[in-house]
Structure 1
Amino acid sequence: MTGLLTTAKALFQAAVDRADPAQALRTHLASSPLAPLPEGGRNVLLAVGKAAIPMMREALQLVPAPSQALVITNSENYTEIPGATVICGAHPVPDENSAAAGQAAIELARSLGPDDRLIALISGGGSALMVAPAPGLTLADKAAVNKLLLASGLEINEMNLIRQQLSDTKGGGLLRHAAPAQVQAFILSDVIGDDLRAIASGPTVAPIGTRAQARETLQRAGIWDSTPETVRARLSAVDETHKAPPPAINTLIGSNRHSLKAMMSAAAEEWCPILVSHRLVGDVSEAAETIIKAAESAPRDKPAALIFGGETTVLLRGTGLGGRNQELALRVAKLGAERLSGDWLFLSGGTDGRDGPTDAAGGIATSATWEAIKASGQDPDALLANNDSYAALKSADALLMTGGTGTNVADVQIFLKRPG
């Protein structure tokens, strides 16, 4: 399996490389330079998300005479940057550092005058890394809701619809604090479909929906009664005016689709690359079935590289440790052992290098993985039922470990199958 693993990791790296935020920002600013400011106007930089460090480094080189620079990112990607203040928030569940980051961003935005420009560099992860509870709410309220959302099985857009209604920065909140200054945002998408309202919960765009829609989504997910009373009160209050936030210039500079194209190109020389889906979403059990069915129908006379991209969800039923990519790999290992023959390998990973609250980027499965877990003395079915994919894959040396990548364009999956 060494050859297949080397190939799969190379294709994963191609996806990460294509999402390089510094290169993406450089390319866009070269083709569309920033408009000049009025005399005395200042350029102020704010980078938020898992790709904030490389985006800020590049911006400091390209933006004329920035007067201030604030970076908000995760601890795995932390590094000092001369000329910038760097704050680390927590992800996926926000903490006091996330709240401090949110307050710092608000203060920076409020310091701007009408001739100034806020250049916002936004990437995935910003929802948790920069938080500012809406009036009447506390950080504990938001953290409690976020934990419920992560275990609910809701898709990312549904989660962000709710998060925006509980925030003072999300859903265009940052624009309101920065007004009347100009705001120009460069955005790296970690959201399938590239809805700018959902990336980092849309600090520079209008909200996804209303309080009533957020309330209905929580009720439909069966977690309304579990949310804090203050949250229920806010979402039940009559406030449907939804004045549009001030305008901004929002530019998408990278996405999952760009990375999938890079994987296809990288695989083309020695494999038959097939883009099966650029929208692998929904529950991991359904996604695993989609992957196995694609593998069953793959060409049998040539080496096939099946490519997927998306962001699945996990409905938590147990107390184990893992992430959506790890559980997807474990489910593919189980189904593959039952239904596939021949030489194959599956890799699922988050392009940010972190899958859920673990140090793994994702997981790897082969025809031998399920039995290898058993051979280690573990019960893979029990571990799967407990959402303990990390322990299961670790026992078979099947975790994908990359460390923080400095970018984030959601997840990619690779299924390699040799003829036979």
Structure 2
Amino acid sequence: MSEDISRPDETRAPRALITDIFQAGVAAADPAAAVKSALAGQAFERPVIIAVGKAARTMAAAAMEHVTADTVVVVTNYENAEALEGAEVRAAAHPVPDANGARAALRVEEVLSHATDDVLALISGGGSALLPAPVAGVSLEEKAEVNKLLLASGADIVTMNLVRQQLSRLKGGGLLRAAAPATVTTLVLSDVVTDDTRAIASGPTVSPIGSRADAAQVLKDYDIWDRVAPSVRAHLERPEPDLGPLPESPLTIVGSNARSVEAMAEAARERAAGAALYVHPTPVEGDVSEAAEVILEIARAQGGKGLFLFGGETTVKIKGDGLGGRNQELALRVAMLAQVRGIEEFAFLSGGTDGRDGPTDAAGGLVDHSTLARMREMGVEPEESLSRNDSHHALDAAGDLLRIGATGTNVADLQVLWLP
């Protein structure tokens, strides 16, 4: 979708402008407002609240304003873990699970085993790692190693979570079965660009994406099968038990990447420069090198000037020992490709709505036509950095890391490109 918007404010720096637009997208994914809206008009009789994911604490706090809960367990990442009166808040690691996550999973199972009436499940992105619950015979360390291998393989989130589900007691409907006979109502803040609820936090209250055989095939397709523990291979080769159909469970998506992209468009119409505004109608996915090509090609095809807005979730195949994340690497690749194409002036931002990109303290990168020169002035060669997947240190040298802190939400990634 492309459109004309008001004349630009030429005094406004492009970097500040596109940061404001990105922040509008993040604000639109406010979990508290989403939960309050979803619960309006609903009644629960002292439910058990289980909140899991990067937005878990915020979602739980909002729900507790609406209902009087019997027990509230919140499992979130360390950056978002703050005390919440009336709730038990547990912190765990993301993106690779740790022992605190495993202990939190045991606690969730214990609480659900005593639930008899209503359970309110508040699910947000990051839940896959935060609530590991490895199946019998597979250790937490072995499951974590599978996670690391999948993260480095370039597999998309749906493919990754297909495997994770088959190695977990709580994923792929496991939480729903653990809560039976209680009735589970699920509110989901989606970090999966297709809004496939089976993939969001690995679908704890919905059916699995695939079977054990499907998971085994994924590991083989990505050349991981021979690198995982024998216990993992043995589990995936066993016949699947017949557990019967999943219990009925109402589910509502309360926030998504698409909604945040539209909020960015609204902000652009109000604040921004412009000759032209283009909102890409489909998610940007796939390897970051391909995504950089797609973004600049779309801009060229749409006239090569104005604001271009995107949402999605890319992947990175890790080949080096550097530090970074998909948003930082995408930003660096766009800067390099823009130079190759002779684009003399631009600004580009790619950021994770959760405020954290990969195992770093940055949400992503904010680059422009001077980025590469500033890097080289600091003795950093961007080509060499990319060859080692070291976008973090390269962008840091240029002063082009996007740092916004933990946001308490997560609806995947957002991108903004400005061309004068």
**Which residue is equivalent to 1:345?**
347
How much does 1:242 deviate? 5.7
SS of the residue 2:70 aligns to: strand
Report the TM-score when normalising by structure 2.
Answer: 0.94
In 1, Cα distance between equivalents of 2:78 and 2:44? 35
Kindly provide the amino acid, as one letter, of the partner of residue 176 in structure 1. Answer: R
Alignment of 1:176-187 (within 5 A): 176-187=177-188
**Which residue is equivalent to 1:24?**
34
In 2, Cα distance between equivalents of 1:208 and 1:298? 37
**Which residue is equivalent to 2:5?**
none
How much does 1:245 deviate? 2.1
Does residue 61 in structure 1 map to residue 62 in structure 2?
A: no
CA deviation vs aligned residue, 1:222-252 (integer Å, no higher than 9, x gap): 1111111100001111216463322211111
In 2, Cα distance between equivalents of 1:62 and 1:374? 54
Judge conservation of contact 2:44–2:118 (CA < 8 Å) in 1: no
**Which residue is equivalent to 1:171?**
172
How much does 1:154 deviate? 0.6
Does residue 48 in structure 1 map to residue 22 in structure 2?
A: no
**Which residue is equivalent to 2:8?**
none
How much does 1:201 deviate? 0.4
**Which residue is equivalent to 2:77?**
74
Kindly provide the amino acid, as one letter, of the partner of residue 92 in structure 1. Answer: P
In 2, Cα distance between equivalents of 1:371 and 1:304? 24
Report the TM-score when normalising by structure 1.
Answer: 0.94
In 1, Cα distance between equivalents of 2:370 and 2:48? 53
Alignment of 1:337-376 (within 5 A): 337-376=339-378
**Which residue is equivalent to 2:404?**
402
**Which residue is equivalent to 1:307?**
309
**Which residue is equivalent to 1:288?**
292
Alignment of 1:228-307 (within 5 A): 228-239=229-240, 241=242, 243-269=244-270, 270=272, 271=274, 272-299=276-303, 304-307=306-309
CA deviation vs aligned residue, 1:248-297 (integer Å, no higher than 9, x gap): 11111010000000001111133322112431111000001001212323
SS of the residue 2:280 aligns to: strand
Judge conservation of contact 2:321–2:388 (CA < 8 Å) in 1: yes
How much does 1:34 deviate? 2.3
**Which residue is equivalent to 1:124?**
125
Judge conservation of contact 1:320–1:387 (CA < 8 Å) in 2: yes
**Which residue is equivalent to 2:6?**
none
Judge conservation of contact 1:49–1:74 (CA < 8 Å) in 2: yes
Q: How many residues align?
A: 407
Kindly provide the amino acid, as one letter, of the partner of residue 117 in structure 1. Answer: D
SS of the residue 1:99 aligns to: helix
Deviates more, 1:266-275 or 1:81-90: 266-275
RMSD of aligned alpha carbons: 1.4
How much does 1:304 deviate? 1.1
Does residue 383 in structure 1 map to residue 372 in structure 2?
A: no
Match of 1:327 among 326, 329, 335: 329
The runs of 5 or more residues in structure 1 that have no matched partner are: none
SS of the residue 2:209 aligns to: coil
Kindly provide the amino acid, as one letter, of the partner of residue 142 in structure 1. Answer: K
Does residue 103 in structure 1 map to residue 106 in structure 2?
A: yes
In 2, Cα distance between equivalents of 1:173 and 1:245? 9
CA deviation vs aligned residue, 1:39-84 (integer Å, no higher than 9, x gap): xxx3111111000111111111001x21111110011111110000
SS of the residue 1:177 aligns to: helix
SS of the residue 2:314 aligns to: strand
Kindly provide the amino acid, as one letter, of the partner of residue 76 in structure 1. Answer: E
How much does 1:26 deviate? 1.0
Judge conservation of contact 2:39–2:63 (CA < 8 Å) in 1: no
Does residue 83 in structure 1 map to residue 86 in structure 2?
A: yes
SS of the residue 2:13 aligns to: helix
In 1, Cα distance between equivalents of 2:28 and 2:373? 35
CA deviation vs aligned residue, 1:85-137 (integer Å, no higher than 9, x gap): 10001000000011011111111111112xx1110111000001111011111
The runs of 5 or more residues in structure 2 that have no matched partner are: 1-10
Judge conservation of contact 1:296–1:340 (CA < 8 Å) in 2: no
CA deviation vs aligned residue, 1:12-36 (integer Å, no higher than 9, x gap): 1111110000001111222xx2245
CA deviation vs aligned residue, 1:355-407 (integer Å, no higher than 9, x gap): 00000000112111112211111111111000000011001001000000010
SS of the residue 2:311 aligns to: strand
**Which residue is equivalent to 1:202?**
203
**Which residue is equivalent to 2:20?**
10
In 2, Cα distance between equivalents of 1:338 and 1:226? 38
How much does 1:341 deviate? 2.4
SS of the residue 1:151 aligns to: helix
In 1, Cα distance between equivalents of 2:331 and 2:297? 15
Identity %: 49
Kindly provide the amino acid, as one letter, of the partner of residue 20 in structure 1. Answer: D
